[in-house]
Amino acid sequence: MTGKRIYMDHHSTTPVDPEVLESMLPYFTEDFGNAASRSHSFGWRASEAVECARERIASLIQSTPQEILFTSGATESDNLAIFGVAEFHSGKGKHVLTCRTEHPAVLDCCSQLAKRGFEVTYLPVDSTGRVSPDDVREGIRSDTILVSLMAANNEVGTLHPVAEIGKIVKERGVLFHCDASQAVGKIPINVEEMGIDLMAFTAHKLYGPKGIGALYVRKKAPRVRLAAQIFGGGHERGMRSGTLNVPGIVGFGSACEIARRVMPEEASRLAALRDRLHERIAQDLEAVELNGHAKLRLPHNLNLSFAYVEGEALMLAMEGVALSSGSACTSASNEPSHVLKAMGVSDEKAHTSLRFGLGRFNTREEVDQVATQVVESVKRLREISPLYEMAQRETRGIHAGNLG
Amino acid sequence: MPAISGEPSKRVLEHCASTRHAGGLDPRDPAVGTGMAGSAAQGDLVRIQLHVEGGEIQAARFKAFGCSGSIASANLACEWAEGKTLSEAERIGQADLASALDLPLSKKHCSVLAQEALRQAIRDSRDKAASSSKEQR
């Protein structure tokens, strides 16, 4: 590896903000107490730190601290929300409504539910990746107990009309779970205005540590009841047993506090950088297409298809740049991204997709460097692509011969 | 988003960094045989072309739409094929390509495509040679 590495895969994870790390350190060594220890100051200090973090996290999403429940991450939060609601409310009905473009943390839970006698409806999306509120309205049945929809898609960044859907779900008296892993700390999230009853999110997507997440569980109007899935000590009001990850929780709290402070400025800075990256690439390359919604998407997301060039080979050609692709050259099934597929993107085009996820510490120089590398690499790979040759020949109107 | 499992092998990286055999030969030339394998929808499409004189492969060229494993497999297949007779080149097998490139099992299909494209090109070369000798008679 030569030169500096550039990280542009912030939908996958983010580095811990140094300020966040700083805040966590005392809780590994001096203040290492168990937050459940009621009999000494080590425990009290830990417990205080946890409650302070809970307040900071709550204030980022406009909930009360009592509605925040700590888990190991968004996947566990999704599991607790979906299985917890399904188990508690199965007497009322056994139907769950979700969407084809959800993260596997939701989709895999739903397919488990299907094995346990539940029925799951997977709503389609339009070509930009958005679910239609009308489809949600029509999809809710008398036996529907839960609607689970993400706030922002992790691949194409498309934002669902969450507030509108929250209203519809509420009117029908059904619970609304939202996986907001990609959205919290990136765009304003207000659980009241959005009518969200349960919400999964995690620290490591917003410059906090890995291994700590939260589930927001609404306390009033309605008071959401769910069955615990992990037992052993009754922590978190019996909803999630297990010794609290105090340093992680403290870091999560600091990360949310920073996000609340910097979000508006950061979002517009990253959107400008993202647009610069897109423009630079598009001005030097033909046949580049945007996947997702041009406006209603996360400010730091850019998902592009580079016709005639396979995504993995392209990522590899861009030495030192960390990106992600919707191609699936290594998976046994060789199935490309289920999200792009649901949006009606052809398999061939899905194999050519690249996801850029910009982040807090990316600079304009890095963006320009990545744009240059993308352009060079795509040009080089197109030179050795049989698809590009065929397309060129077609545009020149020359008979394709036996290669066609 | 489907993950890329692990770093590609050193050999794959070397072949991708310098695709010495990338390129095309004129398919209308009777001395050129062409083979294609795979499909764009599945994410891997490999074309191999051979320039054959007196039964010996003078030049082998490939074009590939596909992951690093496919590009490397096609490049190596061409490297091995050059200078060989068609019958010798026919014995270049998927397993040899895969082991020379340290391809993981998940990338086995890449070497399969290179083998398929090469064997098709050999068949095409033979067909063309047979039909041109008929014409000469």
- Average pLDDT over chain B, rounded to whole? 92
Contact B44 A325 (CB under 8 A): no
**Mutation test of the interface with chain B: which of A103, A351, A352, A379, choosing the one with the most B Cβ atoms within 10 A?**
A351
A336 at interface of B, judged by CB pairs closer than 8 A: yes
At the second CATH level, the architecture of A18-259 is 3-Layer(aba) Sandwich (3.40)
Assigned CATH topology for domain B10-130: Sufe protein. Chain: A (3.90.1010)
Helix (H) or strand (E) holding A392: helix A386-396
pLDDT digits (tens, 9 = 90+) for B68-114: 999 999 999 999 999 999 999 999 999 999 999 999 988 899 999 99
A8 exposure class (CB count in 10 Å sphere: 0-12, 13-18, 19+): buried
- Clarify whether A110 is annotated catalytic: no
The length of chain A, given as a count of residues: 404
The angle subtended at Cα A50 by Cα A47 and Cα A52, nearest 5°, is 110
Instruction: Give just the sign of the alpha carbon dihedral A89, A94, A95, A98.
Output: positive
Say yes or no: ipTM exceeds 0.85.
Answer: yes
Please answer whether residues B69 and B107 qualify as being in contact, where contact means their C-beta atoms are separated by less than 8 angstroms.
yes
pTM (two decimals): 0.94
Looking at residue B6, its pLDDT comes to 66
For chain A, the domains span: 6-11+263-397, 18-259
Separation CA A142–CA B29 (nearest Å)? 70
pLDDT digits (tens, 9 = 90+) for A220-243: 999 999 999 999 999 999 999 999
How far separated are the first and last CA of chain B, in Å rounded?
Answer: 59
* Structure tokens belonging to residue A24: 């966590």
Contact B43 A384 (CB under 8 A): no
Nearest chain B residue to A11 by CA: give it. Answer: B1
For chain B, the domains span: 10-130
Looking at residue A379, its pLDDT comes to 98
Instruction: Give just the sign of the alpha carbon dihedral A110, A290, A346, B108.
Output: negative
DSSP A66: G
Q: Which of B1, B5, B28 lies nearest to residue A330, judging by beta carbons?
A: B5
* A-B contacts (CB, under 8 Å): 108
Looking at residue A322, its pLDDT comes to 95
Please answer whether residues A386 and A307 qualify as being in contact, where contact means their C-beta atoms are separated by less than 8 angstroms.
no
- Indicate if the pLDDT at residue B4 is higher than 60: no
Between A365 and B133, name the one with better pLDDT: A365
Looking at residue A67, its pLDDT comes to 98
Between B17 and A352, name the one with better pLDDT: A352
DSSP B3: P
A347 at interface of B, judged by CB pairs closer than 8 A: yes
pLDDT band per the 50, 70, 90 thresholds, residue B3: very low
- CATH homologous superfamily for A6-11+263-397? Aspartate Aminotransferase, domain 1 (3.90.1150.10)
B15 at interface of A, judged by CB pairs closer than 8 A: no
pLDDT tens track, chain A, 404 positions: 457 899 999 999 999 999 999 999 999 999 999 999 999 999 999 999 999 999 999 999 999 999 999 999 999 999 999 999 999 999 999 999 999 999 999 999 999 999 999 999 999 999 999 999 999 999 999 999 999 999 999 999 999 999 999 999 999 999 999 999 999 999 999 999 999 999 999 999 999 999 999 999 999 999 999 999 999 999 999 999 999 999 999 999 999 999 999 999 999 999 999 999 999 999 999 999 999 999 999 999 999 999 999 999 999 999 899 999 987 654 545 688 999 999 999 999 999 999 999 999 999 999 999 999 999 999 999 999 999 999 998 888 755 444 44
A171 at interface of B, judged by CB pairs closer than 8 A: no
Contact B22 A401 (CB under 8 A): no
